[in-house]
A and B are shown apart, each in its own frame.
Chain A
Amino acid sequence: MCLGVPGRIVEIADAEKKLGLVEIAGVRRLTNLACVAADADAVRASLGGWVLVHVGFAMSRIDEEEAQRTLGLLQEMGEVMELQEQLAAGDEARRGAGVAGGGLAAPPPMMGMPDGGE
């Protein structure tokens, strides 16, 4: 019931009533856009945008750039960790086998997580 699903506004049904057709995984449903568009012009301008739909209402616009940023940070974190592992493996190899435990590289510094937008 509390499910929120991403969908794309593919048609404005009635700008004055703030109604649009939102396509979710191929299914189109009449959706109320009153929580993401203040007036009829904003409704018209929202065409093509992505929204999070909950019980027939678009409750938030989905920010594509933020989505990319989150994924980018995760990629980066993965790369840092891989690097650290390689370094740790290199250290171990130099020290000879079996020096594991306790000496694992410090956790990644978790650089600049998304901080709630500007």
Chain B
Amino acid sequence: MKFVDEFRDPKLGKQLLQGIARLAAEIDRPLKLMEVCGGHTHAIFRFGLEALMPDNVDLVHGPGCPVCVLPVGRVDDAVAIAEHPNVVFATYGDAMRVPGSKKSLLGAKAEGCDIRTVYSPVDALAIAQAEPDKEVVFFGLGFETTTPSTALTVKQAAALGVTNFSVFSNHITIVPTLKALLDSAGENIDGFVGPGHVSMVIGLQPYEFVTRDYRKPIVVSGFEPLDVLQAIHMVLTQIAAGEAKVENQYTRVVREGGNPMALQALLEVFELRSYFEWRGLGTINHSGLQLREPYAAFDAEKRFAVPQLSVADPKACQCGEVLKGALKPWECKVFGTACTPETPIGSCMVSSEGACAAYYNYGRLSVLKSKPEAKAATRPAPRPSDEQPEAAE
């Protein structure tokens, strides 16, 4: 497949790995690099990149999987909407198994709710047009990558005069999230592999604060193995040179200014909520999006009574620590035993982009656990920083 196969060339990959090994040896201290985006987490495990990293380079998996950060309370709200007698609840497949406090959407479907998996918000709109006596609610999920699609669909519904379509918006935005993460766990992280598909919409400028205020390198990356390896190489090159810059590895897709047309649609339809709850990360101000007043008729939260309760995560679940990069998935008590992709307890085990699901499906656990850094560097206890070079002679 064009633009895919070329970026999986094993020879070039080996060369990049040699370069990464040299840089890591030169820097000569434990390094933690966080990939923010769940798509990268998936790619890293699918292609086994984590096991190929030098011993002192630890890849930490961030909160960039919109399904994984969906709090229990919002799943309950979704179920409550889906339980309305005349509602067709349309959702991306990823969200079906996310556990609520009593049941997931899949559980609600089993009990008879009309819940349908769609590939695109326009598919949900098409259902609304085809079944005008039903109320169709689309489960709006995702970061800036996905939000413009929802926005354009809402605009289309408005233009077509469709009145039985609405969106339950759980769209979120990347910058406040990165900032919250840097404030709470920033000292643990040496650099970032930045989200490629969010950046194709928002561009590079929004990341300037990462380098300016926190002095961390960030390299926006594509999703093929060579992309991720090259981005890691670029982050290490910056660290070795003592630099902190925003760089773009994914130049074939990401433009410096992002996609103005997509941004315009997003801003026309959506505005920031004053606060939004995240699973494991708590409430982050101005991190969620809701429909603007002119589109209020398409806001499911205004159309249907939703409980809007904040519900604590299950006690056994440590998704929060995993999302902050403080814990490796396999260190969670229920990983792979009580919590599996078939019967997940935490949301990180649900989506294929979740760190736990990626480890569960692809993780070369025996290799990873044997890495010297793996155990030492990932204890949940707060640690001052990683600057102590271990075993320096």
Interface residues of A (CB under 8 A from B): 1-4, 6, 8, 25, 32, 34-36, 38, 50, 52, 54-57, 59-60, 62-64, 66-67, 69-71, 74-75, 77-78, 81-82, 104, 106-108, 110, 113-117
Q: A67-B252, A117-B255 are in contact. Are A1 and B142 (CB under 8 A)?
A: yes
One of B65, B123, B249 near A56 (C-beta < 8 A): B123
Q: Is the CB of A35 within 8 A of B148?
A: yes
**Closest CB of chain A to B330's CB: distance in Å?**
24
**How far, in whole Å, are A117 and B249 apart by their CA atoms in the complex?**
10
Q: Which one of B4-12, B79-87, B102-110 is at the interface? A: B4-12
Binds A, one of B128-136, B183-191, B226-234, B365-373: B226-234
Contacts of B2 in A (CB 8 A): 6, 8, 50
B12 touches A75 (CB 8 A): yes
Which of B223, B240, B261 meets A4, CB within 8 Å?
A: B223
B1 is an interface residue with CB less than 8 A from chain A: yes
* Residue interface mask B349-383, A partner, CB < 8 A = 1: 00101000000000000000000000000000000
Residues in A with CB closer than 8 Å to B340 are: none
In the complex, what distance in Å separates the CA atom of A82 from the CA atom of B121? 49
Please tell me if the beta carbons of B261 and A78 are within 8 angstroms of each other in the complex: no
Residue among B7, B26, B152, B252 with the most chain A CB within 10 A? Answer: B252
Please encode chain B, from 244 to 285, with 1 for each CB lying within 8 Å of some chain A CB and 0 for all others.
000111011111100101100100000000000000000000
Contact of B251 among A3, A6, A114 (CB under 8 A): A114
- Complex: how many Å from CA A71 to CA B3? 10
Asked if A104 and B22 make an inter-chain contact with CB atoms under 8 angstroms apart, the answer reads yes
Q: Is B173 an interface residue (CB 8 A)?
A: no
Contact of A34 among B230, B247, B251, B261 (CB under 8 A): B261
* CB neighbours of A113 from chain B (8 A): 234, 237, 247, 249
Please tell me which one of the listed residues B3, B237, B256 contacts residue A6 in the complex, with CB atoms under 8 A apart. Answer: B3
Chain B window 173-200, contacts with chain A (Cβ cutoff 8 Å), 1 for yes, 0 for no: 0000000000000000000000011001
Can you report 25 A-B residue pairs in the complex whose CB atoms are below 8 A from each other? Answer: A1-B92, A2-B197, A4-B145, A4-B200, A6-B3, A34-B265, A54-B197, A55-B119, A55-B120, A56-B119, A56-B121, A56-B149, A60-B200, A63-B251, A63-B252, A82-B15, A107-B237, A107-B240, A110-B237, A113-B237, A114-B248, A114-B249, A116-B248, A117-B248, A117-B256
